[in-house]
Amino acid sequence: MTGPYELATRDARTLQERTRVEAHDAAIVLGSGWTPVADALGNTASQVPFTDLDGFPPPTVVGHAGSVRSVAVGDRRVLVFAGRVHLYEGHDPSTVVHAVRTAVFAGCSVVILTNAAGSLRTDFGVGQPVVIADQINLTGRNPLAGPPPPEPHRGRFVDVSDAYSARLRAVARDVDAGILEGVYAGLLGPSYETPAEIRMLRTIGADLVGMSTVLETIAAVHLGAEVLGITLVTNLAAGLQGRPLAHDEVVEAGRANMDRVTALLAGVVGRL
């Protein structure tokens, strides 16, 4: 049986062959509603469907396209994953973080993780991009659990006290002076949180809540990549906006605010 690290290595080699790029500089994983960024970010030199790679199941969530693009952003070459895999789809953590591991093995030293999230703060309004300063993993899962990583990869006990790179966060603030920072809580989903759960999350220090990113961050840090997390606030959390939450709102809020987040991503990549 092929292990998750070997599978990611194989897919990285396939991407190198299909894109004709020996080593990409950075990877961007696009969250719900972020797919238009792939079109606006730069010139797509090549595109590989997830179905042409061994470790990527087809996405089942609206707003996730299911392909990897090699995009030229200035003089940087970026792997853009238009779609991601979630725990709530029934996948193992190693499948959820497969894109990140593949990207690092394809040469990416920087991983930019984007997502759509609910805001737990009234000053984080809908349409506001927020840089993730820290995270709370409440999924009950970890991509480093199970058999130890094979050689030559480092062991499973990884320091994540600076999981979100202070350097990259400073770059993001330099690109967009009005951007805010917050703590992201990652939950299993797919149901949205109850008002009682939102009160709990606020009590333990979360500013944002979503259903992705936290496992990918752990996997990227484990492999030595710098991580930047960017959330687009697409709704106020349960009990704060006065009406039921809907995934269609998440996707639409992403589409409506793509200009700012595209400029932010292009500016960050240009300063790497």
Can you tell me the mean pLDDT for 25-44? Answer: 85
Q: What is the pLDDT of residues 63-95, one digit of tens each?
A: 445 889 999 988 899 999 988 899 999 999 999
The two most distant CA atoms of the chain are separated, in Å, by: 52
Picking from 83, 85, 79, 37, the residue whose alpha carbon sits closest to that of residue 64 is 83
Tell me the two tokens of residue 43: 């010139």
pLDDT of res. 81:
94
Sign of CA dihedral 153, 159, 162, 167: negative
What is d(CA 68, CA 167) in angstroms, rounded to the nearest whole number? 26
Can you tell me the mean pLDDT for 178-203? Answer: 93
**252 φ, ψ (degrees, to nearest 5):** -65, -40
pLDDT of res. 64:
46
Per-residue pLDDT at 223 exceeds 60: yes
Contact 103, 27 (CB under 8 A): yes
Catalytic residues, by residue number, are 32, 64, 86, 88-89, 116, 211-212, 235, 247
What is d(CA 9, CA 153) in angstroms, rounded to the nearest whole number? 12
pLDDT of res. 53:
94
Per-residue pLDDT at 146 exceeds 90: yes
Domains and CATH numbers, the chain: 4-270 (3.40.50.1580)
Q: Could you tell me the pTM of the whole model?
A: 0.92
Per-residue pLDDT at 242 exceeds 90: no
pLDDT of res. 251:
60
Rounded-to-10 torsion of CA 253, 102, 98, 52: 80
Angle value at C-alpha 137, between 132 and 143, nearest 5 degrees: 105
